[in-house]
Amino acid sequence: MKTRGTWLASALAMAAMPFAISSAFAADAPSMTDAEKATAKKIYFERCAGCHGVLRKGATGKNLEPHWEKTLKDGSKLEGGTLKLGQNRLEKIIAYGTEGGMVNFDDILTKDEINLMARYIQNVPDVPPEFSMAEMKATWKVMMPVDKRPTKQMNKINLKNIFSVTLRDTGEVALIDGDTKGIVSVVKTGYAVHISRISASGRYVYVIGRDGRLSLIDLWLEQPAVVAEVKVAFDARSVDTSKFKGYEDTYAIAGGYWPPQYSIMDGATLEPLKIVSTRGMTVDGEYHPEPRVASIVASQTKPEWVVNIKETGQIRLVDYSDLKNLKETTFESAKFLHDGGWDSTQRYFLVAANASNKIAVVDTVERKLAALVDTAKIPHPGRGANFVHPTYGPVWTTGHLGADVITLIGTDPEKHKDNAWKVVQEIKHVGAGNLFVKTHPKSKHLWADAPQNPEKALAESVAVYLISDLSKPPVMLNVAKDSGLPETSAIKRAVQPEYNADGNEVWISLWGGKADQSAIVVYDDVTLKLKKVITDPKIITPTGKFNLHNTQHDIY
């Protein structure tokens, strides 16, 4: 057996898991050396596991097991798998991507690496070890105790307009001043930080890496820095804090992709306090061994978190008022839960169920599922976008990975009851492959990207719609061209529009090939004119950007 912290051997995985494939299929798998498997395993974790799962059972991405079969409602069986696709077909899919939202990897991976990955996914996946409370506590570090931290802000930074920017491939977060556009601090964190969340007080930034490393950044220090950290899982995506009155900054919660569990920590020190497994039955009544924690949000109406379990389609309301007697309320929605955001009143949470082409609506006051809304293929809202439609009243908006539309859902069951929890309009988007939509209460625009689109011109641009007249074609901004960066063969993907605190600027990440320079491109939201291109050498593969004020107050 390998040491804890590395994956168990395939032989042990086959013996331990009830869903092992047949020996006939295993015998057909391409051979690999131990060194090749180690390299492929690292690439898979960094590039593939988020969509396809550690056990390769699929979610947002397809099932990548060597062989799988599914019993349909009529009793017939459907079979497939990577072995059936074969080496040549797999290499083409990895290299060139698919119209369903998978990007091309021919400008990220070498030909040898593409060949390696095609062989790797035809072999049986290894199963990682579990992660106990004792192991979690062994990773816990407090660099600066609470009593040694300042009692007031020790710098002159405008904290409400700071952007926390993920530098994906360096395992860092850049804190950038939204006023000056200068870097305040570059902080070492976990690999490929997925999200940044702000404490209720606005003092602390919690960032979670895909390697499960949770870091706590204190913004009051003269130079903002990490004051505590803990590893919550081997693979993770989500974090939030306690925000209900009387519990501000008391707790933090982080969700694991592997192991499938969530952990509750002390909010000021990250001391691990509790671990809760999310394994269980899906909404279809089948057991799933890897139900990952997709997203977590903190309710401000009750001392609860909304915890969304991807593979099972179950949504849990977790009451943190008494950790020793933790209460969970679970209700069924649809598979596979991913990400979402609040409506404008912050009573209702809307979350995408990717595989079911639905949006689930959670009522955090009555503590129930309010609706399941059918949408176009593969909704992917990020946090979504809230605005008042000139005809339909308050709406929440999502884009789609698998459809060239932007969907508007009514969110006002009191004054616009006939429109509530219905798709009131579909706006024609420039193409499929959208990841983020964004607006701001002070803005007249709705911004939408398309970084997963296979067309270079679309992936490198963003569309800007006029909210007062959504029938008008959007203004297209070629972010790659506006950046002034040299033309390369790789697609420079424009991703995640993010407003500043005042709602008059929009920041867009631009990332291209492995060796290409990246940038953050800033536009004036009123004129749609270019304002600034941030190309500091420290800005390497910027992805998620989170304005601290907007994130703290759930403004989007």
Q: Which residues are catalytic?
A: 48, 51-52, 102, 338, 380
Report d(CA 552, CA 118) in Å as an integer.
42
- Give the distance from CA 452 to its chain's centroid: 14
3-state DSSP assignment of residue 327: strand
Show the tokens assigned to 102. Answer: 């998978």
One-letter amino acid identity for 503? G
Cβ atoms of residues 462 and 440 within 8 Å: no
C-alpha 118/C-alpha 506 separation (Å) is 39
Edge-to-edge strands of the sheet including 272-277?
Answer: 235-241, 251-258, 261-266, 272-277
Token pair 């809307």 in the structure block, residue = 350
Alpha-carbon Rg for the chain, nearest whole angstrom, is 23
Amino acid at 353: A
**419-425: Cβ within 8 A, 24+ apart:** 419/392, 419/393, 419/395, 420/371, 421/361, 421/370, 421/371, 421/373, 422/373, 423/373, 423/374, 423/375, 424/389, 424/391, 424/392, 424/395, 425/389, 425/392, 425/395, 425/470
Instruction: Determine the Cα–Cα distance for residues 165 and 81; give it in Å rounded to an integer.
Output: 37
Backbone dihedral region for residue 346 (phi beyond 0: left; psi -120 to 50: alpha; all else: beta): left
Structure tokens at 111: 């030909």
SS3 468: helix
